[in-house]
């Protein structure tokens, strides 16, 4: 499933309704194997972020980049990147999904 603009791909359990960032085959809440793709709003709050200044070889051409943990308004935590290296220095800052690049959500300050 390809995410619509402003939406993040997650998994939803059809047995209990729990959302999960995945990937996985079994629901961590109820242990059912009834997970299916779901799209949720890419708006949320910045929980944590760090700058990778010396990227691994596979990402060296990209230079330094910021990795973030975002708690989406849907109540699920996802890991992605920030489009700017400086997140304004504020944990809890509002962010929105800017784009999905190779399956990785890229967030920007709202």
Report the CATH number at residue 78: 2.40.50.840
Domain membership of residue 29 as a residue range: 7-109
pLDDT in tens, the chain (110 residues): 455 778 999 999 999 999 999 899 999 999 999 999 999 999 999 999 999 999 899 888 888 899 999 999 999 999 999 998 765 668 899 999 999 888 889 999 98
> Is residue 66 classed as helix, strand or coil in its secondary structure?
strand
pTM assigned to the model: 0.86
Q: Closest Cα partner for 67 from 24, 20, 105, 11?
A: 105
Res 102: pLDDT = 82
Domain count, the chain: 1
13 part of a folded domain: yes
The verdict on residue 76 lying in a domain is yes
Residue 1 located in a structural domain: no
């Amino acid at each position: 499933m390809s995410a619509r603009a402003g939406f993040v791909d997650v998994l939803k359990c059809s047995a209990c309704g729990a959302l999960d960032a995945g990937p996985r085959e079994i629901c961590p809440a109820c242990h059912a194997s009834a997970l299916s793709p779901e799209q949720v709003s890419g708006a949320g709050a910045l929980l944590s972020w760090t700058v990778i200044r010396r990227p691994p070889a596979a990402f060296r051409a990209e230079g330094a980049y910021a990795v973030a943990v975002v708690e989406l308004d849907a109540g699920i935590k996802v890991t992605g990147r920030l489009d700017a290296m400086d997140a304004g220095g504020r944990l809890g800052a509002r962010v929105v999904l800017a784009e999905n690049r190779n399956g990785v959500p890229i967030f920007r300050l709202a």
